[in-house]
Amino acid sequence: MTLAIPLAWLPLAIFLARITDVSLGTVRTIAVVKGRILIASLLGFVEVLIWVIAVSNVVNSLDRPLNLIAWAAGFAVGNAVGIAIERRLALGDLVMRIISRGQGAEIAESLRNLGQRVTEFEGKGRSGPVQLLYLVMDRVDGDRVEKLARAIDQDCVVVSEDVRHANIKLRPMMTPRTDWRGVLKRK
């Protein structure tokens, strides 16, 4: 299926189509890894539909090098856009460890006041005793939690990792999502 677009505008159409399908592919891949079956299936359908239309337009006009450049540039930009979209969606859960020298209890109390579950440990670091805080949360809350911890102890160490599975019911820091992100989080 070739698009009925004037030849002068075809490179732009190919470029935009590639940005769209590669961005969807990036988010779809992450959804597959996170086990989000429905969203991965829907994104895959739309991604392949756009890809077939874009590739047919490039193959039908191989004599125009600008179309090939638009294809490659759209792929490159699409990867960056897809990663940016995924960061904004922040699908999944996060484990965060906060290490503080002397202010761990204050950080933990502030996080608990926001509804966050926090486990505290005492430890010994290079310079003496430290408090280690362990949290499991929605990824979307990670930046807020880190900012709160750094507001209390600017020298704290924060380590975050993605979680494949957590067997506890997480209580979000914010009210439950009812917008489009809530739909994306359903399995």
CA dihedral 87, 88, 90, 96 (to 10 degrees): 70
At residue 99, the pLDDT reads 96
- The DSSP H or E segment spanning 74 is helix 65-89
At residue 180, the pLDDT reads 57
Do residues 22 and 51 touch, judged by C-beta distance below 8 A? Answer: no
Which residues, including other chains, have CB under 8 Å from residue 22's CB and lie 6 or more apart?
Answer: 74, 75, 77, 78, 79, 81, 82
At residue 128, the pLDDT reads 92
Q: What is the pLDDT of residues 121-145, one digit of tens each?
A: 999 988 899 999 999 988 888 889 9
CA dihedral 119, 123, 127, 133 (to 10 degrees): -10
Write b or e for each residue in 77-103: b if 16 or more Cβ atoms lie within 10 A of its Cβ, otherwise e.
bbeebbeeebeebbbbbbebebbbeeb
Does pLDDT of 179 surpass 80?
A: no
Rg, the chain, Cα only: 22
**Looking at domain 93-185, does it have CATH number 3.40.50.170?**
no
Give pTM, 2 decimals. Answer: 0.64
At residue 2, the pLDDT reads 55
3-state secondary structure of 121: strand
Q: What is the pLDDT of residues 43-97, one digit of tens each?
A: 999 999 888 888 887 777 777 889 889 989 999 999 999 999 888 887 778 899 9
Do residues 152 and 103 touch, judged by C-beta distance below 8 A? Answer: yes
Strand order in the sheet with 157-163: 119-125, 128-138, 93-100, 157-163
Do residues 160 and 87 touch, judged by C-beta distance below 8 A? Answer: no
The Cα–Cα gap between 155 and 158 comes to 9
Does pLDDT of 149 surpass 70?
A: yes
At residue 178, the pLDDT reads 58
Do residues 70 and 15 touch, judged by C-beta distance below 8 A? Answer: yes
Mean of the pLDDT values across residues 151-178? 75
At residue 8, the pLDDT reads 76
At residue 173, the pLDDT reads 55
